[in-house]
Amino acid sequence: MRLLVVGGDAAGMTAASHVRRERPDTDVVVVERGPYTSYSMCGIPYYVGGEVDAAADLVAKTPEAFRAMGIAVHLRTEAVSVDVAARTVRVRDLEHGGERDEPYDLLLLATGAHPLPKPLPGLAEYGHVVHTLDEGEHLRRHLDAQRDVRRVVVVGAGYIGMEIAEALVRRGMSATLLDRSPQVLNSLDPDMAAIVERVLREFGVQVRLGEELLEVRGDPGCALCSSVVTDCGEYDADTVVLAMGGKPNLAVARTAGCEVGPSGGLVVDPQMRTTVPGIWAAGDCVESVDLVAGLRRNVQLGTHANKQGKVAGFSLVDAMDGGTGDGDAAFPGVVGTAVTKVCDWEIARCGLGERDAAEAGIAYATVAFEGTARAAYMPDPGVVHVKMMAERGTGRILGAQLVGTGNVAKRIDVAATWCHLGVTAQQAQLFDLSSSRRWTCIRRCSARPFRFRAGEAAHRPEGPGAAPARA
Amino acid sequence: MRLLVVGGDAAGMTAASHVRRERPDTDVVVVERGPYTSYSMCGIPYYVGGEVDAAADLVAKTPEAFRAMGIAVHLRTEAVSVDVAARTVRVRDLEHGGERDEPYDLLLLATGAHPLPKPLPGLAEYGHVVHTLDEGEHLRRHLDAQRDVRRVVVVGAGYIGMEIAEALVRRGMSATLLDRSPQVLNSLDPDMAAIVERVLREFGVQVRLGEELLEVRGDPGCALCSSVVTDCGEYDADTVVLAMGGKPNLAVARTAGCEVGPSGGLVVDPQMRTTVPGIWAAGDCVESVDLVAGLRRNVQLGTHANKQGKVAGFSLVDAMDGGTGDGDAAFPGVVGTAVTKVCDWEIARCGLGERDAAEAGIAYATVAFEGTARAAYMPDPGVVHVKMMAERGTGRILGAQLVGTGNVAKRIDVAATWCHLGVTAQQAQLFDLSSSRRWTCIRRCSARPFRFRAGEAAHRPEGPGAAPARA
């Protein structure tokens, strides 16, 4: 029995490891386009900025460690196409050239996602995509080598773009964050994003929103560009970093005939099976059920990739054993939880934003307030801006957003759990959450926003403070 | 209609405020033994230690502010007894002397709790109880005035005792923490408490466990004592601080005939009604349902007092309107959530400990591991010791304990929510919790401990990763 895994990061290696551990007699083969396995993409901005020393520090587990487990790992090897009838994958050796067929009994596609920059003039020459660790290494080498880099334009004001811009300012450079969207961090509501934008500006990042990149100009043969042109003007720039969102890498899956959903990710069932028998998929390339909105989204996060890889592993083992592949695990879906940090501020969100709720046709009420991160009587109590949403009529919590100082981001996990379980605002405010000893915030988050009588979220079929359901 | 509230802290004033706001035509009268209303008891150690400047900083809302709302607040006025037939409460004016009867239509007892030190020799003369804000003021004045205080013995190694001991060391004093229990913080399991004990010792607190205070010795007329005698020896000491756990203040309730439960707290229903018609109770003096163990406990925390006061307020308003007092709210019970901080370490717990589970007759499995507070690749990632428990057979999460650096305490709220809702370890590890961008821990807390195949918590009738129930 031979399992072939395409993609050697979180989803692929988690599944490969699980199968290898559970069925040691199975051949487990991984092909990975890049030179690394299992690394933290989220750490790349800190590596580019120098806060993390070496690219190797971001590697959770090396190819050697996987090989020691008995997994065959082929780096710099790109999958090209699948022959479903022959059960082979055509792969290309990027290091030494040449192609070959890798046979499989079961196939897992964990091909990830990658930005697809538009073919704008100058972008291929001067634009640095920062999505994979080797791209991060390339950018850092570029910045370290080109001592004349002073002005960097970062295109894309999402998590990675903001973090890179901050890192560049810390390195003493001038960073301009450019996005055609009218706000930073589209996963936040505009009012919350405005707080983040202010933090970035105060830190020294130049933020240009609602502005679209048209061209990068430079002298031929020069490592540095000279300017960028947008629909609003032209700015001096030495380097351009492309930190746009990724698109699922679907080229290989398409050759196999796997169905792609409207979200742009591969359609999978809760066991991570694609629509083609014998082929599983997991990680940034698949679509997941959004449990709050009840629709499917392509969400690219290592947390999901790890879990989906694990679930795929269970299903693959079951299939190897001659089962239906139902396995012992099912991926439940996502609630859109994400956290990041900009300067001393932490940012967290889960569930739906106002736009999401409107698009999903869910009637909602919001509440926003400002609190302290610790008890207000303590020195330096910090500040937390909180916004929450509940469904009108039922009071079901739809989402939460936090922007604050003082290590508050992970408090979002409480709201994420509420979103998972369909908890109402009326229930949540009577939950036994911690407070009073130097911490506040999420309790306020539960106690304040939707008061018992909050007319907008007040239908509460179960009554406020109804004893919570027990599974 | 006249509501009389006995006790002017969290529970009493929350209920009084609610009733006053909702039924402005009602007379709301509060009698409070001490000189303050609505203060943070949890802040007292920081005030004693000087980290918080003034006692007033711990007052959330002053008597004047409540009076401005139309609530009659009588400070330094102690309730003595209830005449249920006459619907009056006998009160004593502690400031000017004399007693009088306060009539009521509805009565709320929010009398709180207080330590009851044994009548040991010297304790009345030299022992400083630190439970109320005026007691905290008294201790701070004592420490500020008596410049010869160098060696302080703190009796009771719970939250407050540990925090006071730390505060004293910060003030440059020698602090000995004494408890007859073999561990600090009895609400933690011994293995987790041992970490906290080590932190205290390394900070310079002398910890003496399994040792019982017998006597405090001193020269007559002297403000400072000279030594304490325990069953293990005699130590030099200038001052003794008594930080033992509180016992519910039941004297008034007993005169009314309110039933006291086996936990030592007043028996109340989910609307906070005592067993005597017309009398409600809330806060540290009542017992609550422990939702995990399914039994009743007396838990003394401001978080519960606030919520119970709110629920009592709803019920009181309903009764005033001629209803049954069922109101629109019900207190669901507690899951034992508590957090604190010792030096740079945060401590959090929820649900059951091993002793609790054994006492409740629940078969359990535990898992303990050490993680980082932030992504391991970041500088100064911190450390978090995590211990979790699940029920054998069902996998239901029973409790969690955290001890760690890096602002991790409030992560316990996720586990507290799981405990409230009966979430299983198998469900929890597939929840969409935040991670990867500089934070880890509670996700590990969910992902690591009870692996899919953890035999001990593996029966999982719903299957691991079963899509969570939605309320």
Whether B232 and B241 have beta carbons less than 8 Å apart is answered as: no
Whether B285 and B113 have beta carbons less than 8 Å apart is answered as: yes
Q: Does B407 touch chain A (CB under 8 A)?
A: yes
pTM given for the model = 0.88
**Does one domain contain both B230 and B262?**
no
Count of beta carbons in the 10 Å neighbourhood of residue A417: 33
Identity of residue B378 = M
**Does one domain contain both A151 and A258?**
no
B470 in any annotated domain: no
**Is B445 a residue whose pLDDT tops 50?**
no
Beta-carbon separation of B417 and A418 below 8 A: yes
Q: Which residues of A touch B311 (CB under 8 A)?
A: 430, 465
Length of chain B: 471
Beta-carbon separation of A429 and B336 below 8 A: no
Instruction: Please give the mean pLDDT across all residues of chain A.
Output: 89
Q: Does A341 touch chain B (CB under 8 A)?
A: yes
Beta-carbon separation of B439 and A339 below 8 A: yes
Least Cα distance to A296 among A250, A261, A252, A249 occurs for A261
A98 in any annotated domain: yes
Q: Does B334 touch chain A (CB under 8 A)?
A: yes
**Does one domain contain both B441 and B344?**
yes
- Match 């079961």 to its residue by tokens: A106
A190: part of which helix (H) or strand (E)?
A: helix A190-203
The two tokens of residue B84 are: 């249920």
Instruction: Please give the mean pLDDT across all residues of chain B.
Output: 89
Which phi and psi (to 5°) does residue B470 adopt? -120, 130
The C-alpha atoms of residue A149 and residue B180 are separated, in whole angstroms, by 66
**Of A46-55, A456-465, B221-230, which gets the smallest average pLDDT?**
A456-465
Beta-carbon separation of A463 and B375 below 8 A: no
Q: Does A100 touch chain B (CB under 8 A)?
A: no
Number of domains in chain B: 3
pLDDT, position A435: 67
CB within 8 Å of A358: residues ≥ 6 apart: none
Beta-carbon separation of B433 and A337 below 8 A: yes
Q: Does B427 touch chain A (CB under 8 A)?
A: yes
A329 in any annotated domain: no
| Burial of residue A376, with CB atoms counted within 10 A of its CB: 0-12 exposed, 13-18 middle, 19 or more buried | middle
Picking from B195, B214, B242, the residue at the C-terminal end of a domain is: B242
CB within 8 Å of A97: residues ≥ 6 apart: none
Instruction: Convert the pLDDT of each residue in B143-183 to its tens digit.
Output: 999 888 999 999 999 999 999 999 999 999 999 999 999 99
**Is A157 a residue whose pLDDT tops 90?**
yes
A468 in any annotated domain: no
A333 in any annotated domain: no
Pairing of strands B106-109, B2-6: parallel
B266 in any annotated domain: yes
The C-alpha atoms of residue A306 and residue B289 are separated, in whole angstroms, by 38
Q: Which residues pair with B213 in a beta bridge?
A: B230
Structural domain containing residue A442 = 338-459
Whether A47 and A55 have beta carbons less than 8 Å apart is answered as: yes
pLDDT, position A446: 34
pLDDT, position A425: 85
Assign B10 a pLDDT band (cuts: 50, 70, 90).
Answer: very high
Whether B272 and B286 have beta carbons less than 8 Å apart is answered as: yes
pLDDT, position B435: 67
Find the largest Cα–Cα distance for chain A: 70
**Is A51 a residue whose pLDDT tops 90?**
no
Identity of residue A163 = E
Picking from B187, B209, B242, the residue at the C-terminal end of a domain is: B242
**Does one domain contain both A21 and A107?**
yes
Q: Which residues of B touch A432 (CB under 8 A)?
A: 291, 303-304, 333-337, 350, 416, 419-420
Q: Which residues of B touch A414 (CB under 8 A)?
A: 413-414, 417
pLDDT, position A441: 30
Q: Which residues pair with A241 in a beta bridge?
A: A128, A154
Instruction: Convert the pLDDT of each residue in A288-333 to its tens digit.
Output: 999 999 999 999 998 899 999 999 999 999 999 999 998 888 999 9
DSSP annotation of A197: H
3-state secondary structure of A235: strand
The whole-number average pLDDT for the span A257-281 is 97
Residues 146-175 of B with CB under 8 A from A: 159
Instruction: Convert the pLDDT of each residue in A195-207 to its tens digit.
Output: 999 999 999 999 9
**Is A471 a residue whose pLDDT tops 80?**
no
Assign A420 a pLDDT band (cuts: 50, 70, 90).
Answer: very high
Whether A252 and A111 have beta carbons less than 8 Å apart is answered as: yes
Q: Does B469 touch chain A (CB under 8 A)?
A: yes
| Burial of residue B6, with CB atoms counted within 10 A of its CB: 0-12 exposed, 13-18 middle, 19 or more buried | buried
The C-alpha atoms of residue A408 and residue B406 are separated, in whole angstroms, by 11
Q: Calculate ∠ Cα B69-B74-B80, nearest 5°.
A: 135
Beta-carbon separation of A332 and B427 below 8 A: yes
Assign B468 a pLDDT band (cuts: 50, 70, 90).
Answer: very low
pLDDT, position B452: 34
Q: Does B452 touch chain A (CB under 8 A)?
A: yes
**Does one domain contain both A108 and A140?**
no
DSSP annotation of B371: E
**Is A127 a residue whose pLDDT tops 90?**
yes
Q: Does B18 touch chain A (CB under 8 A)?
A: no
- Match 């307030």 to its residue by tokens: A369
**Does one domain contain both A136 and A82?**
no
Beta-carbon separation of A303 and B432 below 8 A: yes
A42 is catalytic: yes
Calculate the alpha carbon distances from B154 to A415, B49, B126 in Å: 39, 13, 12
The whole-number average pLDDT for the span B399-408 is 89
| Residue of A284, A317, A434, A443 to mutate when probing chain B, most B C-beta within 10 A | A434
**Does one domain contain both B30 and B143?**
no
Min Cα–Cα distance to chain B from A88, Å: 31
Which phi and psi (to 5°) does residue A136 adopt? -60, -40
Residues 195-254 of B with CB under 8 A from A: none
The whole-number average pLDDT for the span B95-123 is 96
Beta-carbon separation of B303 and A433 below 8 A: yes
The two tokens of residue A19 are: 């199968």
User: Long-range contacts of range B86-90, CB-CB < 8 Å, 24 or more positions apart?
Assistant: B87/B278, B89/B4, B89/B6, B89/B31, B89/B252
Identity of residue A120 = L
Least Cα distance to B411 among A431, A407, A380 occurs for A407
Q: Which residues of A touch B466 (CB under 8 A)?
A: 330, 332
What is the Cβ-side half-sphere exposure of residue B57, based on CA atoms within 13 angstroms?
A: 20
| Residue of B40, B133, B396, B437 to mutate when probing chain A, most A C-beta within 10 A | B437
pLDDT, position B392: 87
Picking from B242, B272, B303, the residue at the C-terminal end of a domain is: B242
Instruction: Convert the pLDDT of each residue in A431-446 to its tens digit.
Output: 998 863 333 333 333 3
A325 in any annotated domain: no
**Does one domain contain both B235 and B296?**
no
Assign A98 a pLDDT band (cuts: 50, 70, 90).
Answer: very high
Least Cα distance to A17 among A313, A318, A306 occurs for A313
Beta-carbon separation of A410 and B377 below 8 A: no
Residue of B nearest to A303 (CA): B435
The CATH number linked to A231 is 3.50.50.60
Q: Higher model confidence: residue B253 or residue B405?
A: B253
Beta-carbon separation of B52 and A377 below 8 A: yes
Which among B51, B330, B338 is the nearest to A463, CB-wise?
Answer: B330
DSSP assignment of A29-60: EEE-SSS-SSB-GGGHHHHHHTSS--GGGGBS
**Is B460 a residue whose pLDDT tops 80?**
no
**Does one domain contain both B313 and B215?**
no
Q: Calculate ∠ Cα B14-B18-B22, nearest 5°.
A: 175
**Is A229 a residue whose pLDDT tops 70?**
yes
**Does one domain contain both B223 and B252?**
no
CB within 8 Å of A457: residues ≥ 6 apart: A365, A390, A391, A392, A393, A394, A395, A424, A425, A426, A450
Instruction: Convert the pLDDT of each residue in A363-381 to its tens digit.
Output: 988 888 888 877 777 777 8
The two tokens of residue B191 are: 């293995």
Min Cα–Cα distance to chain B from A277, Å: 23
The two tokens of residue B325 are: 């007092």
**Is B469 a residue whose pLDDT tops 60?**
no
**Does one domain contain both A298 and A372?**
no
Least Cα distance to B465 among A294, A306, A410 occurs for A306
pLDDT, position A449: 32
> Would you name the residues of B annotated as active-site residues?
42
B467 in any annotated domain: no
For chain B, the first-to-last Cα distance in angstroms comes to 39
Q: Which residues of B touch A340 (CB under 8 A)?
A: 437-438
Residues 37-76 of A with CB under 8 A from B: 40, 42-43, 46, 51-52, 57-58
| Residue of A326, A341, A377, A380 to mutate when probing chain B, most B C-beta within 10 A | A377
Q: Give, to the nearest 10 degrees, the angle between helix A190-203 and helix A159-170.
A: 20
3-state secondary structure of B243: coil
Beta-carbon separation of A396 and B51 below 8 A: no
**Does one domain contain both B15 and B109?**
yes
